[in-house]
Amino acid sequence: MDKLPVIDVSPLTGDDERAKQRVIRDVGDACHEIGFMVIRGHGMPPKTISRLRQLVTQFFNRPLEKKLALSITPDNYRGYIPLGFFTPNSDGDTPDRYEGYKLHWETDRLDPIRNDCDLYGPNKWPDRPAGFRDAVLDYWRHCDRVAGYLLDALACVLGVDAETFRRAFDKPLTNMTLLHYPPQATNDNEFGIHPHKDTDALTILAPDPIGGLYVRRTGSERWIPADAADDSLIVNIGDMLEIWSGGYFVSTPHKVVNSTGRERYSFPYFAVPRFDVRVAPLMDVQPGFDRVELPVGEVSRAIWQSNWPDAAAIDARIDPATP
């Protein structure tokens, strides 16, 4: 396989049952074989993506002091991440070459769930560029919708009740990272984002026109470009869905290398269940698969804490998600 499978998912929200079952089979095959797919017919308006890309670009072009005033802190994992701030939680210590802005599922300051888990809270919203918050939340709503019908399809593949997944995402720890990758030299020891697997359930990404995302199929040493048309979305499986499926779906290594000489902007959405969900296999596990449970709140907190430059690496059994 030298490219990602491309699937028109529009039948998942239509009335043609035969077409829907065909797409469910195709989605299941992609998640089983490589853990990545390119979807078309997803229903996200092109203007939603282009508007957010424009405002993300404008935000990162603001003066550094304006961005630093919104900096992320260890006690509030929301806000601006300076260029080269985080050291990869992996072998080596070369900082990833990106600057970012971290956002989480918006939680009111008075929401009782904050008494149960300190990972919840309101986001920091910059006052410039104008319309930034509305553009992010518009994109987020569409990602929620796409994630919802994809999870329904994957539940069908696994033979489990779709409500099992839907209940797990009530008041979720879903989050987004807005990213800017400056051009970098081709260097085996430097990455926009280092090779990693996502810890979440499902990641949704509007492809950047200049590329730079690479995927390595499990068991292979070859990296293939995650090429995708502008009107598509890239979707990949994270560790949580891999565990739910007993290893039938695969969480696949990927990385970003921006050697194009151009600025790259990206805004991945990470679907993460509620803090008190303990992700465990919902079906018989695949031969050799030994990851039997993942506590969402504990793992999310470990990733949060371990991303800081002076933090010790987290347990090797947990594959860190993109910060």
pLDDT of 269-308, one tens digit each? 999 999 999 999 999 999 999 877 899 999 998 888 776 7
In a domain, 1, yes or no: no
Which pLDDT score, from 0 to 100, does residue 84 have? 81
pLDDT of 320 over the 70 cut: no
For residue 55, give the CATH number of its domain: 2.60.120.330
pLDDT of 195 over the 90 cut: no
Which residue segment(s) compose the domain that 26 sits in? 6-306
Mean pLDDT value across residues 177-199? 83
pLDDT in tens, 4-19: 999 999 999 999 999 9
What percentage of the chain carries pLDDT values higher than 70?
Answer: 91
pTM for the model: 0.92
pLDDT in tens, 41-80: 999 999 999 999 999 999 999 999 999 999 998 888 899 9
In a domain, 316, yes or no: no
In a domain, 322, yes or no: no
| Buried/exposed code over 56-72 (b: 16+ C-beta within 10 A; e: otherwise) | beebbeeeeeebeebeb
Q: How far apart are CA 245 and CA 277, in angstroms?
A: 15
In a domain, 27, yes or no: yes
In a domain, 315, yes or no: no
Which pLDDT score, from 0 to 100, does residue 315 have? 42
Question: What residues are paired with 214 via a beta bridge?
Answer: 225, 255
Mean pLDDT of the chain: 89
Q: How far apart are CA 43 and CA 38, in angstroms?
A: 14
Which pLDDT score, from 0 to 100, does residue 311 have? 53
Helices 132-158 and 17-33 cross at an angle (nearest 10°) of: 90
In a domain, 167, yes or no: yes
Inter-residue contact 279 to 199 (CB < 8 Å): no
Query: Comparing C-alpha atoms, which of 119, 127, 126, 304 is closest to residue 199?
Result: 304
In a domain, 140, yes or no: yes
pLDDT of 313 over the 50 cut: no
Q: How confident is the model at residue 220 (pLDDT cuts 50, 70, 90)?
A: confident
pLDDT of 260 over the 90 cut: no
Inter-residue contact 234 to 4 (CB < 8 Å): yes
In a domain, 50, yes or no: yes
Inter-residue contact 194 to 254 (CB < 8 Å): no
For the chain, what is the domain count? 1
